Amino acid sequence: MKPITLIALVAILLSTTAHAGPPTPNYAFVNGRWWNGSGYEERTVYTVDGVLRSKRPVYIDQTFDLHGGFVIPPLAEGHTHWIEPSKVDDYNACYLADGVYYARDMANIPFLVDQFRDKVNLPTSVDWVSAMTGFTGPGAHPAEILEGFVRFGLLPKDWKPDYDKQGEFVVSTEKDIDERFPLLLEQHPAFVKAFLLFSDRYQENLKDPNVKPDARGMDPKLLPHLVKLAHAAGLKVIVHIYSAADFRNAVAAGVDELAHFPGNGYGVIKSPELFQITAEDAKAAARAHIPVTTTVAWLGEYKEKNSPSYQITRDQILIPNMKLLRAAGVRILIGSDKFRRDVVPELQSLRLLGMFPDAELLRMDTETTAQATFPHRKVGKLQDGYEANFLVLDRDPAANLDNLSSISMRVKQGRRIFVPASAVSRPSPDCTQGKP
């Protein structure tokens, strides 16, 4: 045996050792119509080592005839909070049943995440990233939500009422941020979350005992300092906004993304003008390449309840704001902020605006939102070299999003995944199917 052959043999043995464990099967998928972002292409696609390939591999373990099925990348939930560890099995089943493989958790609590970390980011679970503990001001959102969790027994009864460092980072000065930022880094967040609510009235609201936490956030003057620390640590800053002033303050502070549309839901009916952004606001966000996540799932709930808020928020806030953002070229991401539901009801609510063809909503979610959730992974497209994550549907979801209910096969990291029939045929969008 020549030395070169021996070296080659050793190399082959080493590479085999490196792939120890059951190999990912090689599959061929024939007779499928593959989504390319705007239409479908009929082609044969192979999955090799969990990656999509257009070239046939040497060995094929199994060939699947898709019988003209429609193949799309999986859906992404751009805004959620997985805050019930005991329900994470239900969340996983329900998201995967609906074809939602990716979830971006927009603030959570280590006490809760420690209870379910081993149930996410598996080949057979949802791929999940989180901001972990968020930054807010004294007596501010989301303290009122944490208080509810303490009442329901989800969080320890003995936690101090401002929840600083336990459930949120409460900051009033740059020094407060400096002290807490290393604690956040220990939690390995995927990005940094901060809360602004009526931030133009920060000082007045802070002094006013009648203002509740759900109308207070962080001092907007502190935001540039947080952005500086986050960027130095290689992390993006995503800011919860509520009013048009929050939109403006966040963009001016150099943040990377806005979570929520101005006027996300409740209490906006009395003064819609507080939530109407200007063309200049939209252009400033576009210039800084700042995307905005929708979170308008509540609009569908307003419509179901025949609420008078439906027409006002839709016609006076959401549609005009969306028109300005689109005209300016701001990237729109899709997320619901509905913790027991996934992104499908959000897509339904966005249809109520009458501004987007279903094919565009599909692309905004499966491509733009998926890529924003995992910016360092090759997801969101069905091209050569991308992760072999896809859904096969009997009916075309780009022609009608209702057809998302016709998923016949789910492939994740090159393997078929199987979900409980009860999750597929559940009677409501609620992932826990009404269980308390």
Query: What is the binding site for Zn ion (CB under 5 A)?
Result: 106, 337
Which CB atom, from 338 or from 410, has the smaller least distance to Zn ion? Answer: 338
Name the residue nearer to Zn ion (CB basis): 295 or 389.
Answer: 295
SS3 170: strand
Phi, psi of 192 (to 5 degrees): -110, 135
CB of 226 to Zn ion, least distance (A): 18
Q: Minimal distance in Å, beta carbon 136 to Zn ion? A: 12
How far apart are CB 337 and Zn ion at their closest, in Å? 4
Token pair for 390: 């896809």
Spatial CB neighbours of 218, under 8 Å, sequence gap ≥ 6: 135, 136, 137, 140, 171, 194, 195, 196, 199
Q: Residue 337 burial (CB < 10 Å; 0-12/13-18/19+)?
A: buried
Of the two residues 140 and 398, which places its CB atom closer to Zn ion in the complex? 140
**Contact residues for 285 (Cβ-Cβ < 8 A; gap 6+):** 247, 251, 258, 292, 325, 328, 330
Q: Cis bond leading into 123, ω under 30°? A: no
Query: How many whole angstroms separate alpha carbon 330 and alpha carbon 76?
Result: 19
Smallest gap from residue 339 Cβ to Zn ion (A): 8
Q: Which is nearer to Zn ion, 106 or 241 (CB)?
A: 106
Shortest distance (Å) from residue 346 CB to Zn ion: 12
CA atoms within 13 A on the CB side of 410: 24
CA dihedral sign of residues 150, 155, 161, 162: negative
- Please state, in angstroms and as integers, the Cα–Cα distance from residue 186 to each residue in 111, 180, 253, following that order: 13, 10, 25
Contacts 24+ apart (CB under 8 A), 231-234: 233/181, 233/185
Cβ neighbours of residue 250 under 8 Å, at least 6 residues apart?
196, 220, 223, 239, 241, 258, 290
Of residues 219 and 337, the one with the C-beta less far from Zn ion: 337
Residue with smaller CB distance to Zn ion, 257 or 337? 337
d(CA 240, CA 25): 43
Q: How far is the CB of 100 from Zn ion (least distance, A)?
A: 16
Closest-CB residue for Zn ion? 337
Cα–Cα dist 17/130, whole Å: 34
Q: How far is the CB of 48 from Zn ion (least distance, A)?
A: 38
Give the helix/strand (H/E) hosting 14.
helix 3-18
As measured in angstroms, the least distance from the Cβ of 56 to Zn ion is 45
End-to-end Cα separation, the chain, in angstroms: 69
Closest approach of Cβ 79 to Zn ion, in Å? 6
Find the shortest distance in angstroms from Cβ 194 to Zn ion.
Answer: 12
Closest to Zn ion by CB, 34 or 261:
261
Q: Are strands 192-195 and 237-240 parallel, antiparallel or unpaired?
A: parallel
**Comparison of 98 and 337: residue with beta carbon closer to Zn ion:** 337
Q: Which is nearer to Zn ion, 69 or 213 (CB)?
A: 213
Please identify, using beta-carbon distances, which residue of 77 and 337 lies nearer to Zn ion. 337
332-333: strand order across its sheet: 169-170, 135-136, 192-195, 237-240, 257-259, 292-293, 332-333
